[in-house]
Structure 1
């Protein structure tokens, strides 16, 4: 099996390095030149509480014209999902499939428009990660697993093959036919914690240790759960918002920082529109009020504008 990963930030690097370390033919693609240079010269290093590995990898800016992959994993920011899906579509082998491991809601639908729903998979990474330096990433909560599945039954075989590869790489991976429910479950983990920790500019766990902030995280989750129920989305993780906040805060180290917070610090656009913005939009469609999610979306957009002005 040949796997391509478009987007070799923290999460893409963790998945790619562990696949390569397990002997699976894996090629990564990213626009960050320093990261590519270090990874190609010295390998890609993943550190965690369970130890450190360094895997020899192939990392390029874009795929060469003749490259073909059985599975393409997309781990770019949501606002460039369509562009990544178009690249993936050009480099799929016969019978190949594209999977989104991205945060938020709606990415699979965009990918399906490009490659076809029968070749679209969805997945959830329950662990976290941060970039330490070029060629080196930190794997937070490494015991947490991965779930994958096809958007349609036609994708089940490809999802099973990918699940086998991820299991070989040491991930606790399950194949689940109800992939959209899994995406909602991951969104429920992030929806309260990420924007509030970002506004405070704190790692998730530090923000969650503040009692009033934790209550606001829980309230945000209550809105999101009500929207999911109104849409008829099954919730494999249950409907306790307290539990989702625990998953986003208490299982991580005190240094783990959400990608939303890191994006703002770097002056980049966040993925709030596929998280709190999506909850607000869906809530409007099904008649469920989501004032906290609306407010958090607006607040993050406001901070985005200020941070981007400072970096330009």
Structure 2
């Protein structure tokens, strides 16, 4: 297909996909709100750095108000809380028979489907390590799971086509008929990552600290309880075993999964989560409401109490608003434990 893939959001996730596809000869047009970044990508080239691969690739990139025409394949790679605004901007550029693929964290497929229609919405789960370092620079810290599927289940020719495109980036990508299982699994792991961002410590250091294990396990258990109420059985990936946090699972199984996450995150050049970077480096709001807060809302619909998740949202907002510092003490405020 000669029509470019439109990537809306050229940050850590969208930028990496765009650079890999453009290098492979796939026509790509990226869109980003950071003018300096868009200019750098389109002129000097997007520089991919890190231990996985290092290269520079020129990728056409424009600001949202510079996009013209319509596109059949749109990759949405903005922060979760920017989904609604991004959809309003990109919808005029979505072909009548086109679709939007979310490569975001959270359950943004619901937001996209409400705006574009469920038949024009596709889901993906990504867990590779990447960071936006500055205009025209992205760190590729480690490979991780990449999964794609239709939100209603059955695989279509377009799903197969997108799967083959994603394999150009991640050879071990997975094509699934149960994308929600992976998205809910990432929500469980993601809640733990938000907790690690309560401290200045690395992800692996948080997971390796026995004193923090109970809170991390509790967060995973609350998310899995809500997933089960939603009729979803989350699937494992990269050290995270959802079954270990399901009601009735043993503490030993949960601790083993936490140890697996410590080991997985110890091997990446991306030492801290994107949440940490939002708070400590870029000094901006996180995705906590669109991810953890969304689970809290769904839990309330089922009458499920999720005190740790609710407290986590409060603590992240405390850091965002300057009421608390990132510290071990803030982490232990999750449970009220003494440091």
Q: Give me the TM-score of the superposition, normalised by structure 2.
A: 0.83
The 3 A distance-change label for structure 1 pair 110 and 48 is: same
The equivalent of 1:283 in structure 2 is: 299
Displacement after TM superposition at 1:247 (Å): 6.2
1:73 is aligned to 2:89: no
The equivalent of 1:149 in structure 2 is: 149
Displacement after TM superposition at 1:203 (Å): 2.7
Displacement after TM superposition at 1:250 (Å): 2.8
The equivalent of 1:162 in structure 2 is: 162
The equivalent of 1:113 in structure 2 is: 114
| Consecutive unaligned residues in structure 1, runs of 5 or more | 308-312
Displacement after TM superposition at 1:154 (Å): 7.6
The equivalent of 1:212 in structure 2 is: 211
Displacement after TM superposition at 1:279 (Å): 2.3
1:38 is aligned to 2:54: no
The equivalent of 2:243 in structure 1 is: 239
Displacement after TM superposition at 1:246 (Å): 5.2
Conserved 8 A contact 1:203-1:254: no
SS of the counterpart of 1:240? helix
Deviates more, 1:280-289 or 1:154-163: 154-163
The equivalent of 1:62 in structure 2 is: 64
Displacement after TM superposition at 1:18 (Å): 0.9
Cα deviation, 1:216-262, whole Å, max 9, x if unaligned, reads: 21221011111111221122224114466456543232642212111
1:259 is aligned to 2:274: yes
Q: Runs (4+) of structure 1 moved beyond 6 Å?
A: none
The 3 A distance-change label for structure 1 pair 89 and 227 is: same
Conserved 8 A contact 1:185-1:236: yes
The equivalent of 2:26 in structure 1 is: 24
Conserved 8 A contact 1:206-1:254: no
1:190 is aligned to 2:190: yes
Cα deviation, 1:105-142, whole Å, max 9, x if unaligned, reads: 2x111111111100101111121211233211111222
Displacement after TM superposition at 1:63 (Å): 5.8
| Consecutive unaligned residues in structure 2, runs of 5 or more | 237-241, 246-253, 324-339
CA distance in 2, matches of 1:191, 1:221: 7
The 3 A distance-change label for structure 1 pair 43 and 245 is: farther
Cα deviation, 1:249-280, whole Å, max 9, x if unaligned, reads: 43232642212111122231111112222222
Displacement after TM superposition at 1:81 (Å): 0.6
The equivalent of 1:310 in structure 2 is: none
The equivalent of 2:263 in structure 1 is: 250
CA distance in 2, matches of 1:86, 1:155: 27
RMSD: 2.3
